[in-house]
Amino acid sequence: MKKNYLFLPIVFLILIFACEKTANDCCLFSTISELDTSKVNRKVLVLGIDGIRSDAMMQNNAPFMFALSNDADVYFTDSHITESITYSGPNWSSILTGVHYNKHGVSDNGFDNPNFDTYPTFFDYIESVDSTINTASIVNWTPINTHILSSCTDFSPELPVQDIEVFEQVQDLLVNDAPFNADMVFVHFDELDAAGHAFGFSSDVPEYSATLNTIDSYVENIFNIINTKRINGEDWLVMIVSDHGGDGTGHGDAQNPYINQTILIAQHPNLIFKNQHTSNQCDLAPTILKFLGISNSNFDCQKDGISLFEE
């Protein structure tokens, strides 16, 4: 018995130490997530399109997304706020973790010392609450999978592929359940950003417009698949997001509104989204976890974004 009494102060000291070590105001009192079992059949698709300059998304070069953005029931903004460092690495990291780059620690595309242990991705929270939830990430820009998602998803190929192959893999996943019936899917197309760097980020640039048009057709095809699944009883939330805009042939100037603002669309057949809120990259993770009915007091304390659903 006496041994146990001696042990107590040590446990207490370890808790204090763990609390200070997190380098923020949150204590890691709960790493246990809770799942609202009434929402277990919900599924999420995030379509990431690298380098969308907001004013380039127009009727003639992105007819599907343009029409979708004008749908009264969707959340849409063309002023979605990027991280204050407008590289891809920090922005995709914030989209996936729900915290700004000063916390997750990714300030460029090198991923040198990320803090993903302290600030896990929404995939980590999903897998930790129920590892039978099937999660997938299919990307053109492979650092997303190699540096952020490989350890916390069921399927996240790391071989470099073109956007057309990303589209075909997503189609295979959603239509043929290959390799499984997916519940949480993240997708990343990169060739719009490549066209911007090579020719210019502008709707006046034919190569940029044509690439956006091609990606728009992938998005439309994937949406049609989701709508068929909805008719068959599956309950999907779909989000379309970008990491940054662009101007000239770059996107490094974080003061430039053509660069530090991009688009966000969130769509669900009957849930209501906020309409007086300008979103930022950190809003995706809280929106997705809320939709899936997953809560974690550690995430709630640390997150920098809010759910886009009307309460």
Residue among 42 and 244 whose Cβ is closer to Zn ion: 244
Rounded least distance, CB 168 to Zn ion, Å? 22
The tokens for 90 are: 């920090």
| Residue spans of beta strands (DSSP E) within the chain | 34-35, 42-49, 75-81, 135-139, 184-189, 235-241, 261-267, 294-295
Residue among 95 and 289 whose Cβ is closer to Zn ion: 95
Cβ-contact 234, 185 below 8 angstroms:
no
Cβ-contact 61, 212 below 8 angstroms:
yes
Rounded least distance, CB 243 to Zn ion, Å? 4
Contact with Zn ion (CB under 5 A) among 88, 135, 169, 214: 88
As to burial, measured by CB atoms within 10 angstroms (0-12 exposed, 13-18 middle, 19+ buried), residue 158 is: middle
As to burial, measured by CB atoms within 10 angstroms (0-12 exposed, 13-18 middle, 19+ buried), residue 144 is: buried
**In angstroms, rounded to a whole number, what is the distance separating the alpha carbons of residues 157 and 160?**
9
Rounded least distance, CB 92 to Zn ion, Å? 7
Rounded least distance, CB 42 to Zn ion, Å? 29
Give the single-character DSSP code of 152: G
Cβ-contact 189, 44 below 8 angstroms:
no
Cβ-contact 203, 249 below 8 angstroms:
no
Residue among 125 and 208 whose Cβ is closer to Zn ion: 208
Residue among 189 and 299 whose Cβ is closer to Zn ion: 189
Nearest Cα residue to 219 out of 8, 69, 2: 69
Residue among 73 and 112 whose Cβ is closer to Zn ion: 112
Q: Which stretch binds Zn ion (CB under 5 A): 26-34, 166-174, 224-232, 243-251?
A: 243-251
Cβ-contact 125, 33 below 8 angstroms:
yes
Contact with Zn ion (CB under 5 A) among 183, 216, 243, 304: 243
Please count the residues of this chain forming the interface with Zn ion, following the rule CB under 5 A.
4
**In angstroms, rounded to a whole number, what is the distance separating the alpha carbons of residues 205 and 195?**
9
Q: Which stretch binds Zn ion (CB under 5 A): 63-71, 83-91, 173-181, 252-260?
A: 83-91
Rounded least distance, CB 51 to Zn ion, Å? 5
Question: Hey, which residues between 176 and 205 contact Zn ion (CB under 5 A)?
Answer: 193
Rounded least distance, CB 111 to Zn ion, Å? 14
Residue among 127 and 246 whose Cβ is closer to Zn ion: 246
Cβ-contact 244, 82 below 8 angstroms:
yes
82 is a site residue for Zn ion (CB under 5 A): no
Instruction: Using CB positions, name the residue nearest to Zn ion.
Output: 88
Residue among 33 and 88 whose Cβ is closer to Zn ion: 88
Contact with Zn ion (CB under 5 A) among 33, 46, 49, 50: 50
Kindly list the residues in this chain that would bind Zn ion in the complex (CB under 5 A). Answer: 50, 88, 193, 243
